[in-house]
Amino acid sequence: MISNLINRKILTLLKVQYSNMLEYRVEIALWAISGIIPFFMLNIWTNNNLNESINISSTMLSRYFLCAFFVRQFSVVWVVFSFEEDSLMGKVSPYLIQPLNPFFRYFAQHLAEQITRFPFALIIAFFFFIFNPESIWIPNLSILLLSIVSTFLSFLIQFLIQSIVACLCFWTEKASSIERLLFIPTLFLSGLLAPVVSFPAYVKSWIYLTPFPYLIDFPANLLSGNKTNIIGGLIMQILWIFILFPLFKKIWSEGTKKYTAMGS
Amino acid sequence: MLQNIIDVKNLSKSFDISSKEPGLKGTIKHFFRRQKKSLKVIKDISFEIKEGEIVGFLGANGAGKTTILKMLCGLIYPSEGSILVSGYLPFSRKENFLKNITLIMGQKQQLIWDLPPIESFYLNASIYDIDKFEAKKRIKKLSEMLEIDEELFIPVRKLSLGQRMKSELLAALIHEPNILFLDEPTLGLDINAQRNLRKFLQKYNKETNATICLTSHYMKDITSLCKRVICVHEGAISYDGKLDLLLKKLSPVKEILIVCRSEEDAIKLGNSGFTVKNKIKNEITIKIENNSITSSLKTILNNFDIEDLFINEPPIDEVIGKVLIKKDYDI
């Protein structure tokens, strides 16, 4: 019953946010195109034959970076910026006194944006295969489903991390600057610029204890068919969600006590 | 006997604010060491509001009216004291409490900017667990009361301020709340839109017996909607009671314009002991204390040849303006 009600709220939110996102088709196409960092990285790796140093074929490396692009497309999060703006402008006030946590709105907004992005990401993948026909492959159904789950879990981890940072708006007002600090490890340790396997052993030993490699590297390896510990990766993703969710709830409950409803 | 729906006891609210000296020196000092101080914006206030009452909160900018409303609806956490609204502690934001209240802030919107208002209405309906059929019924009823129709299907960004405010009201009332917190609801609206909004609020209060707490700088909003006002001065309550009593207290005299048959009568009337404000030919304006109006008018009508007379209430803005600068009104 409760889950039905939540589902109904989320579904309606999703439908409304999807309609809203369709108002911004061009912007979303541009955002999708702006996420092509992995292709630049692929170019650097293959031109310098760096793949040989980590015993990975150039085809598998191409697939890895294409998958990294896909995972990034469906796990990118900007809730801290939206929440910060809404919080500073007082827009969050009406949502705070509705019987639904305002973060559900942002959550639905992200999901709706991902749905809108999907066709653009497919078009980019189509062109990628035209230029790299040797990289064409069809993942088996179970791997595809696990990759979708893993990408969604990656999205959840990033959403929770950013939501926690966003809640710092209740104390600092400019929480996005903290997010910028987090962007550096996200960029370097997530596998967006290089597969984590290419890092020195001593770095790898502690990177895997952080949430970062489970954001891009793990789902991208899973989808591209590279060697990866599937069960271990999924467990770590779920574990991070279990760590981050109560932390978010605690910081949210403490933060709302500090809320001053500025700008309203 | 009507029950108290809002019960506030010894409520206070303090905010931490940092101050900065002007100039580069001040900026550098502020960067390394912030001077923070606690500012008490609401000071130990207590009041009760009964079910179905419409209460106006009056006060100058920064007096603390909006802060009180924000605490009453659970948006901000009180520093001291207790609040019970409809039997709930507002800040605990229990679902049943939130389904019972609404907050409308003039110029602040919850409608989705790029979509028609109807989308936001159905979204709000689902947030408040109202099924689609019931939501449709309520949208129809409220849109008729608010006299909006085609606007429901036009993107919010293309609506006028008045149309947007009506849509905001509809979105805020779709769950049929029992308690309305309205913070400057007519801000920026033209005279007709203000009047329509007031008419709507009166109708809503009459039909649903909803309790309304209202702040407004437009005195017409207060005089046409509120029998009771709470005046807030520097975070404390300076007056809590009936509006007409306050007006009588603040303006103990009325101005009477008397049109005499002849100029001689006007001169005679002017010399008969009344306080004369001005005199132009056969028209004379005198000031009479509220408690002696009947007897004074009787004397004038019996002793002078009067063609016409008009009793002028002093401008309400002028009268209420006194409240905003005075600390205490003991009625």
Kindly state whether B326 is in contact with chain A, defined as any CB-CB distance less than 8 angstroms.
no
Count CB pairs under 8 A between chains A and B: 80
Residue-wise pLDDT tens digits, B161-219: 888 888 998 999 999 999 999 998 888 778 888 888 899 899 999 999 999 999 988 88
pLDDT at A237: 97
* Geometric angle at alpha carbon B330, from B327 and B331, rounded to 5°: 140
Question: Which of chain B's residues have a Cβ under 8 Å away from the Cβ of A16?
Answer: 112, 115, 119-120, 122-123
Mean pLDDT across chain B, nearest whole number?
Answer: 87
Kindly state whether B70 is in contact with chain A, defined as any CB-CB distance less than 8 angstroms.
yes
pLDDT at B1: 63
Task: Check if the beta carbon of residue A191 is closer than 8 Å to that of residue A56.
Answer: no
CB contact under 8 A, A9 and B172: no
Percent of the residues in chain A that have a pLDDT greater than 90, as a whole number: 42
Residue A239 neighbours by CB under 8 Å, 6+ apart: none
DSSP state of B272: T
Question: Which of chain A's residues have a Cβ under 8 Å away from the Cβ of B122?
Answer: 12, 16
Task: Check if the beta carbon of residue B189 is closer than 8 Å to that of residue B162.
Answer: yes
Query: Considering only alpha carbons, which residue of chain A is nearest residue B79?
Result: A257
Q: Distance between CA atoms of A85 and A63, rounded to whole angstroms?
A: 37
Residue B107 pLDDT greater than 70, yes or no: no
Residues of B (73-92) whose Cβ lies below 8 Å from A: 73-77, 91
CB contact under 8 A, B73 and A260: no
Residue B270 neighbours by CB under 8 Å, 6+ apart: B276, B279, B284, B286
The band of B331, judged by pLDDT with boundaries at 50, 70 and 90, is very low
Please state, as a whole number, how many other Cβ atoms lie within 10 Å of the Cβ of residue B274: 18
Query: Considering only alpha carbons, which residue of chain B is nearest residue A2?
Result: B129
Residue B282 neighbours by CB under 8 Å, 6+ apart: B259, B260, B261, B262, B263, B265, B266, B307
Residue B55 pLDDT greater than 80, yes or no: yes
Question: First-to-last CA distance in chain B?
Answer: 24
Q: Distance between CA atoms of B163 and B183, rounded to whole angstroms?
A: 18
Task: Check if the beta carbon of residue B61 is closer than 8 Å to that of residue B236.
Answer: no
The band of A264, judged by pLDDT with boundaries at 50, 70 and 90, is low
* Rounded average pLDDT over B251-275: 85
Q: Pick the residue with more confidence: B330 or B36?
A: B36
The pair of three-digit structure tokens given for residue B79, joined into one six-digit string: 């520093």
* Geometric angle at alpha carbon B18, from B14 and B22, rounded to 5°: 140
Residue A41 neighbours by CB under 8 Å, 6+ apart: A65, A192, A193, A194
Q: Distance between CA atoms of A221 and A229, rounded to whole angstroms?
A: 10
Cα-Cα-Cα-Cα dihedral sign, residues B154, B188, B170, A15: positive
Sheet of strand B179-183: strand arrangement: B101-105, B179-183, B211-215, B54-58, B228-233, B236-242
Q: Distance between CA atoms of B37 and B237, rounded to whole angstroms?
A: 23
Query: Considering only alpha carbons, which residue of chain B is nearest residue A170?
Result: B76
Residue B328 pLDDT greater than 70, yes or no: no
Rg of chain A (C-alpha set): 19
Q: Distance between CA atoms of A155 and A106, rounded to whole angstroms?
A: 13
pLDDT at B278: 84
DSSP state of B2: P
Question: Which of chain A's residues have a Cβ under 8 Å away from the Cβ of B91?
Answer: 257
Q: Distance between CA atoms of B14 and A171, rounded to whole angstroms?
A: 15
Percent of the residues in chain B that have a pLDDT greater than 70, as a whole number: 94
* Rounded average pLDDT over B77-87: 94
Of A5, A259, A264, the CB nearest to B105: A264
Residue-wise pLDDT tens digits, B222-238: 888 999 999 998 899 98
CB contact under 8 A, A99 and B74: no
pLDDT at A251: 95
Question: Which of chain B's residues have a Cβ under 8 Å away from the Cβ of A8?
Answer: 126
pLDDT at B329: 55
Residues of B (280-309) whose Cβ lies below 8 Å from A: none
Of A9, A90, A260, the CB nearest to B127: A9
Residue-wise pLDDT tens digits, B135-154: 999 999 888 888 888 889 99
Mean pLDDT across chain A, nearest whole number?
Answer: 87
Q: Distance between CA atoms of A18 and B320, rounded to whole angstroms?
A: 49
Residue B253 pLDDT greater than 50, yes or no: yes
Q: Distance between CA atoms of B234 and B204, rounded to whole angstroms?
A: 32
CB contact under 8 A, B77 and A264: no
Give me the residue label for tokens 């550098």. Answer: B28
Of B15, B73, B77, the CB nearest to A97: B73
Shortest CA gap B7–chain A (Å): 19
Kindly state whether B120 is in contact with chain A, defined as any CB-CB distance less than 8 angstroms.
yes
Residue B327 pLDDT greater than 70, yes or no: no
pLDDT at A137: 86
Query: Is the ipTM of this structure higher than 0.90?
Result: no
Q: Distance between CA atoms of A128 and A138, rounded to whole angstroms?
A: 15
Give me the residue label for tokens 């103990």. Answer: B252
Residue A203 pLDDT greater than 90, yes or no: no
Phi, psi of B47 (to 5 degrees): -165, 165
Please state, as a whole number, how many other Cβ atoms lie within 10 Å of the Cβ of residue A151: 26
CB contact under 8 A, A256 and B112: no
Phi, psi of B105 (to 5 degrees): -115, 125
CB contact under 8 A, B76 and A259: yes
* Rounded average pLDDT over B19-44: 80
Residue-wise pLDDT tens digits, A18-37: 888 887 777 777 777 777 77
* Rounded average pLDDT over B42-69: 92
Shortest CA gap B279–chain A (Å): 49
Q: What stretches of B86-154 show up as alpha helix (H) in DSSP? A: 95-98, 117-127, 132-146
Residue A240 pLDDT greater than 90, yes or no: yes
Residue-wise pLDDT tens digits, A59-114: 888 899 999 999 999 999 999 999 998 888 888 888 999 999 999 999 998 998 88
The band of A1, judged by pLDDT with boundaries at 50, 70 and 90, is low
Query: In Å, what is the CA distance from B10 to each residue of A20, B6, B47?
Result: 45, 13, 9
